[in-house]
């Protein structure tokens, strides 16, 4: 087996831009600089490219019309727009918002912000796999509930939510359903019409497009207010001259995803299962985080008892492998990931978590290499740890 020099398995943090995407973007960095809002031919070229990209993204999620795609600066802005925009526009119905407790911070923190503005916010519990508790969703929905925000799949543990069932429950109470699909987009098929989604957050880089671009799907008829005011671009919902090169790249990335998603997701799922199985079988006291089957094709989240995540990441990096962790030490706070605590892990278990996220350039050889080096990394750190049971040291 070859031992590759550098292996990147942190695709959840950032993905390389597909060369075909770069190719598509170059003319709009070099030659076509017109403002899509201008009336002249320079503007028209940009406008045409913008609308083509919009149509490609609409196709990816089977939106009823390209007009329902609003371009933004990325998933964080899309989530902020969905939550604050819907909340402020629908006060006449009520001031209650529901989100799951394992949402990304760009959903959790806008919800907490709404709380300071007099809204009532409920965070739903999840089970040990990270699945939203549908009974408590039903219980918490009220006449005044205006919005429910549930992610399509979780970035840290990979668990995919039963969005169609959730949608039926939410719509029975006439609330809107916002779905953050940042981790899922481009990996699993999303159909906003069949799934019954009112607002959907999309991210370009998570589909091998450039960073700094995203979109919010807003089903026609959904009542929402802009959070950025200005020249009235994007149907008045998101002012500011559109990032044309970025959006063109985003569109190309969506087109590639439509064509290649199925085959690539099957390939990644096989690699993911091999990696998880290899690690759990060769290392004692190693466990999977998240759902065993309902999980994203790229996500292998594993925890190792008695040791700490950052020291595992440093050890992997010394061997040329880039991964991430939900560990406190990598973040700016002492608290472990809110996601890992919400699925019921103890603090010390959460601290020992490592997240491998696979991508297009990863090969089976690379997965084999990680399976080969990981037992010794864990063994070395466990030998240092005062928490390791004596019988493991042998």
Alpha carbon of residue 350 to chain centroid: 20
Asked if residue 39 binds other proteins (CB under 8 A), the reply is no
Q: Which is nearer to other proteins, 187 or 289 (CB)?
A: 289
Residues contacting 42, CB < 8 A, separation 6+: 32, 33, 34, 35
Applying CB under 8 A, the span of 4-12, 56-64, 176-184, 301-309 interacting with other proteins comes to 301-309
Nearest distance from C-beta of residue 383 to other proteins, angstroms? 7
Neighbours of 143 (CB within 10 A): 10
Using left for φ > 0, alpha for ψ between -120 and 50, and beta otherwise, residue 155 falls in alpha
Cβ atoms of 25 and 249 within 8 Å: the answer is yes
Torsion angle (degrees, nearest 10) of CA 331, 14, 76, 338: -40
For residues 117 and 87, give the distance between their C-alpha atoms in angstroms, rounded to a whole number: 10
Residue in 319, 322, 329, 341 annotated catalytic: 329
Q: Which is nearer to other proteins, 206 or 308 (CB)?
A: 308
Asked if residue 387 binds other proteins (CB under 8 A), the reply is yes
Applying CB under 8 A, the span of 51-59, 83-91, 343-351, 362-370 interacting with other proteins comes to 343-351
Q: What is the bridge-based pairing of β-strands 7-8 and 69-72?
A: unpaired
Question: For 261, phi and psi rounded to 5 degrees?
Answer: -55, -45
Asked if residue 13 binds other proteins (CB under 8 A), the reply is no
Asked if residue 351 binds other proteins (CB under 8 A), the reply is yes
Nearest distance from C-beta of residue 156 to other proteins, angstroms? 16
Nearest distance from C-beta of residue 76 to other proteins, angstroms? 22
Q: Which is nearer to other proteins, 169 or 319 (CB)?
A: 319
Q: Which is nearer to other proteins, 39 or 334 (CB)?
A: 334
Task: Locate the DSSP E strands across the chain.
Answer: 7-8, 69-72, 96-100, 120-124, 145-149, 176-180, 199-203, 214-218, 286-288, 299-304, 321-322, 353-357
Rule CB under 8 A: choose which of 31, 318, 365, 376 binds other proteins.
318
Q: Is 329 a catalytic residue?
A: yes
Nearest to 130 by CA among 150, 110, 108: 150
For residues 234 and 76, give the distance between their C-alpha atoms in angstroms, rounded to a whole number: 17
Rule CB under 8 A: choose which of 191, 310, 338, 363 binds other proteins.
310
Number of residues that bind other proteins (CB under 8 A): 23
Applying CB under 8 A, the span of 83-91, 111-119, 233-241, 306-314 interacting with other proteins comes to 306-314
Q: Which of residues 365-384 bind other proteins (CB under 8 A)?
A: 383-384
Applying CB under 8 A, the span of 152-160, 220-228, 240-248, 344-352 interacting with other proteins comes to 344-352
For residues 23 and 27, give the distance between their C-alpha atoms in angstroms, rounded to a whole number: 8
Asked if residue 26 binds other proteins (CB under 8 A), the reply is no
Contact footprint for other proteins (CB under 8 A):
306-311, 314, 318, 327-329, 332, 334, 336, 346-348, 351, 383-387
Q: Any idea which residues carry the catalytic annotation? A: 329
């Amino acid at each position: 087996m070859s031992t590759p020099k550098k292996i990147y398995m942190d695709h959840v943090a950032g993905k390389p831009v597909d060369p075909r995407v770069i190719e598509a973007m170059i003319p709009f960095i070099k030659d076509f600089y017109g403002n899509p809002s201008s009336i002249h031919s320079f503007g028209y070229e940009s406008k045409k490219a913008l609308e083509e990209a919009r149509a490609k993204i609409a196709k990816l999620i089977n939106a009823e019309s390209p007009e329902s795609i609003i371009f933004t600066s990325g998933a964080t802005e899309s989530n902020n727009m969905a939550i604050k925009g819907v909340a402020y526009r629908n006060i006449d119905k009520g001031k209650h918002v529901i989100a799951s407790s394992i949402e990304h911070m760009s959903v959790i923190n806008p919800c907490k912000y709404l709380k300071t503005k007099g809204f009532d916010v409920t965070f739903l519990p999840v089970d040990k796999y990270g699945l939203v508790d549908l009974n408590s969703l039903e219980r918490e929905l009220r006449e005044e509930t205006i919005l429910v925000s549930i992610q399509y799949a979780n970035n840290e543990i990979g668990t995919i939510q039963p969005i169609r069932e959730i949608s039926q429950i939410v719509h029975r109470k006439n609330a809107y359903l916002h779905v953050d699909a940042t981790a899922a987009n481009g990996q699993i098929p999303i159909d906003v019409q069949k799934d019954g989604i009112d607002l959907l957050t999309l991210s370009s880089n998570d589909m091998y497009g450039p960073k700094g671009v995203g979109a919010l799907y807003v089903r026609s008829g959904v009542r929402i207010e802009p959070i950025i005011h200005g020249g009235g671009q994007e149907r008045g919902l998101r002012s500011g001259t559109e990032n044309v090169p970025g959006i063109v790249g985003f569109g190309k990335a969506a087109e590639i995803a439509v064509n290649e998603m199925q085959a690539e997701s099957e390939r990644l799922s096989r690699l993911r299962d091999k990696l998880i199985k290899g690690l759990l079988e060769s290392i004692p006291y190693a466990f999977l985080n998240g759902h065993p089957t309902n999980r994203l094709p790229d996500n292998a989240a594993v925890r190792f008892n008695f040791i700490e995540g950052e020291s595992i990441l440093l050890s992997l990096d010394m061997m040329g492998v880039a991964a991430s962790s939900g560990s406190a030490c990598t973040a700016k706070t002492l608290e472990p990931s809110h996601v890992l605590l919400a699925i019921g892990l103890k603090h010390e278990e959460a601290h020992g978590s490592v997240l491998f996220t696979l991508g297009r350039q990863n090969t089976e050889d690379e997965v084999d290499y990680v399976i080969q080096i990981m037992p010794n990394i864990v063994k070395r750190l466990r030998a240092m740890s005062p928490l390791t049971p004596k019988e493991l040291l042998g």
